[in-house]
Amino acid sequence: MRPICVDEVTAEQLSELDELYQTTHDARVRIRALMMLLAAERQMVAAQIASLLRQHEETVRRGNSALPGRRHGGSLRCASLGCSAKGDACLS
């Protein structure tokens, strides 16, 4: 499986994700927001998140594309095999 990277997330982005998680009525969006929060705040890898949330690892890797207002490959993740030199945590 290819790793993905979670870019360093700003306090504003974390706040937006948390608000989305707390307020959405769409279960899929809530799970995807939680996946991104776990990766960004707890530095959990895809396998850990998948096990915790009873999801497939690939679902975790694709999770960000399902959030409203975010495009595939958006600001919270990169689909590269490597991470930038500073601040990124890979989900393997």
For position 52, what pLDDT does the model report? 94
Count the Cβ atoms, other than its own, within 10 Å of residue 43.
12
pLDDT in tens, 26-65: 999 999 999 989 988 888 888 999 999 999 988 888 875 5
Closest to 63 measured CA to CA, from 48, 52, 76, 54: 76
With 80 as the cut, is the pLDDT of residue 16 above it? yes
Extents of the domains making up the chain? 9-71
Give 82's pLDDT tier (boundaries 50, 70, 90): very low
Condensed to tens digits (0 to 9), the pLDDT of residues 67-76 reads 555 544 444 4
Task: Give helix then strand counts, H and E, for the chain.
Answer: 4, 2
